[in-house]
Structure 1
Amino acid sequence: MTPSRMLAAILVCFSGLCYVLNDSVTKLLIDRYDVSCIILIRSLVALPALYLLHARTAGRLAIGSPNLPLHAIRGAIGLTAAYLYIASLEQLTVAEATVILFLSPVLITAISGIVLKEPVSLTSWLSVSLCFLGVVIAINPGGATFKLSALLVVVSSLMYALNAINARWIPPNDNLWTIAFFGALFSALFIAPTALRHWSGIHLSDLLLFGGAATFSSLGIGMAAIAYRMAPASFLAAFGYSGLVWSLSVTWILWGVIPSLPSLLGATIILCSVALNFRRHNRPATAAGTETQIACRERKRPD
């Protein structure tokens, strides 16, 4: 396996951790603020810090991108996905919505083959399918009858998959901080009209929580975009299921909720399927390296 693929897989996993931490912080704010206000404040808090980090790493004060329309589209898609997911919770339980939302890695695998023309191996399909099975076992949503709100989550999953795929076209000079900056900027611009209608002020005691949400969401968006720009989406899709493992761990550490046996079984299936995907993609690289070494020795051998 190439170093870039390994780094991309690590970034996807840590991106999942950041999203889980962001959700955990947001749960502490959701009772006091409208969702649109949380997104707006979180984005506004993140912008100054992201700008300074960009200026420090890039060595210049000006911030820009050769493809601003793409960043705007990504911001709109991300907001749409979040709103559809939240709207579905009026009729669906969190468990039911989460299971449907985890269709996203499956959709990423399918779209990568259609749009990016990436070869999707049987092992990749098997890996994401086993991961989805692990999520269903872990969350155990029950045998609920079909609800129209389920379609909202399906569309939300598709939106998240599209944002993973379109990361491939983010300009190579856009670093993590630039990507996160424009993500926060366009989120703030798009959500501001709705947030202002629900504005109820900010409690100073909550600023630290908003700062945490801004940090985790910015890192999650930036690392995921960088990862999907570095490696094939079909390879990285299964690593997106690491979010369930992080969720079980964070819930245990922060709230002392011990994972149930089905949760542990589902997490084990996910880890095994990701390992299967990792091993399969590692094998060709090793073989290619061996062939290269043999070819080099042949060239050095005297006639």
Structure 2
Amino acid sequence: MPSHILRGIVMICLASLCYNLNDMTTKFLVDDYSVGMIILIRSTMALPLLVILAVAVGRTRVSGSSRVGFHAIRGALNLLAAYLYIRGLEHLSVAEATVILFALPLMVTAASALFFKEVVGWKKWSAGLCSFAGVIIAIQPGSETFQPASLYILGASFLYAANSVTARWLPEADNLWTVSFLAAAFQALFVAPVALAEWTSVHPEDLLIFAASAVFSSLGIGLGSMAYRIAPAADLAPFGYSGLIWSLAITWIVWGTFPSFWTCAGALVIFCSSLFYFLFREPGPHRGPVIKKKSVV
């Protein structure tokens, strides 16, 4: 497997972990604060934290971008996706929301074939379709156990997919920290009017939770963007399911509840389809990385 695809796989798995940790911290906040407040506070807190992390961890710095307007569009997509996802978390567990969000890789695979003309073989399509079938099993549309809040997560999946495929057009000079910083900055800017209109007092003991959510959400966006920028989306999409184990474990360990039978059944179908793709991936020549540079981090 080419090195740029391996790097992309590692990044997408780390992004999935960050998203799940962000879900965990956000779940602690949804009962006390509005969705707008949560997004504004965590996005604002992320800005100085990312500047510090860029120097301390990345040995680099946050810089400007030649396509600020494009980052603004992606920030708007991220904001709306985050809003829908947090609304879903108000009614669903982290595991339930994550399983539904796994409609995302199928959408990314389809978009990569339609817009970037990437070769998507029958094995990739099979893995994606089986994974989506797992989502349907988990949410059971039309049954008595179906929760309308699941539609929030499906809407977020569509928007996250759009954001993922647009990462291909990020400027070459924009590193992980710049992408993460600008995403947080535009989310804060766009949500501020709504959040300030419904502002309530913030409990001091919640500031640490907001800070953790800020770091996890920003790094998740940045790592995911970098992954889809350097490797074909169809190759990375199945590995977006790596968060499955984390989400089930978090729900069990942190909240002491085990997901429902249908959630676990859907998760098992998703896991098996991802394992199938990993073990029987189509051989053959691969194109080089989408953007050639010494380092994207």
Band of TM-score, shorter chain: 0.7 to 0.9
Contact 2:96 2:259 in 1 (8 A): no
User: Secondary structure at 1:33's aligned position in 2?
Assistant: coil
Equivalent residue for 1:224?
224
Equivalent residue for 1:102?
102
| Structure number having the greater helix percentage | 1
**2:275 & 2:100 partners in 1: Cα distance?**
23
Number of residue pairs matched?
284
Equivalent residue for 1:66?
66
Structure 1 residue 151: Cα displacement: 6.5
Structure 1 residue 186: Cα displacement: 0.4
Contact 1:235 1:277 in 2 (8 A): no
Equivalent residue for 1:46?
46
Contact 1:65 1:174 in 2 (8 A): yes
**1:31-180 alignment, distance < 5 Å:** 31-55=31-55, 57=58, 59=60, 63-86=63-86, 101-138=101-138, 143-144=143-144, 154-180=154-180
Contact 1:42 1:214 in 2 (8 A): yes
Unaligned 5+ segments in structure 2 are 287-297
Farther-moved stretch of structure 1 (202-211 vs 273-282): 273-282
Equivalent residue for 1:213?
213
Contact 2:26 2:213 in 1 (8 A): yes
Q: Which has the larger radius of gyration?
A: 1
Structure 1 residue 20: Cα displacement: 1.3
Instruction: Give the percent of matched residue pairs that are identical in Structure 1 and Structure 2.
Output: 48
Structure 1 residue 267: Cα displacement: 3.5
Contact 1:51 1:63 in 2 (8 A): no
Q: Which amino acid aligns with 2:75?
A: G
Farther-moved stretch of structure 1 (140-149 vs 204-213): 140-149
**2:244 & 2:142 partners in 1: Cα distance?**
18
Equivalent residue for 2:3?
3
**1:265-284 alignment, distance < 5 Å:** 265-281=265-281, 283-284=283-284
Residues 239-296 of structure 1: CA distance to partner in whole angstroms, max 9, x if unpaired? Answer: 222233221011122223345555554444333322322234473369xxxxxxxxxx
Decide whether aligned partners of structure 1 residues 128 and 162 sit closer, same or farther in structure 2, where only a CA change above 3 A counts. Answer: same
Give the TM-score, by structure 1 length. Answer: 0.82
**1:237 & 1:205 partners in 2: Cα distance?**
37
User: Secondary structure at 1:284's aligned position in 2?
Assistant: coil
| Cα RMSD after superposing both structures | 3.0
Decide whether aligned partners of structure 1 residues 136 and 277 sit closer, same or farther in structure 2, where only a CA change above 3 A counts. Answer: same
Farther-moved stretch of structure 1 (18-27 vs 101-110): 101-110
Structure 1 residue 230: Cα displacement: 1.3
Residues 31-64 of structure 1: CA distance to partner in whole angstroms, max 9, x if unpaired? Answer: 111110111110111100212333564645x720
User: Secondary structure at 1:248's aligned position in 2?
Assistant: helix
Give the TM-score, by structure 2 length. Answer: 0.83
Contact 2:26 2:86 in 1 (8 A): no
Structure 1 residue 147: Cα displacement: 9.6
Farther-moved stretch of structure 1 (106-115 vs 127-136): 127-136
Farther-moved stretch of structure 1 (232-241 vs 191-200): 232-241
Unaligned 5+ segments in structure 1 are 287-303
**1:150 & 1:30 partners in 2: Cα distance?**
16
Farther-moved stretch of structure 1 (161-170 vs 140-149): 140-149
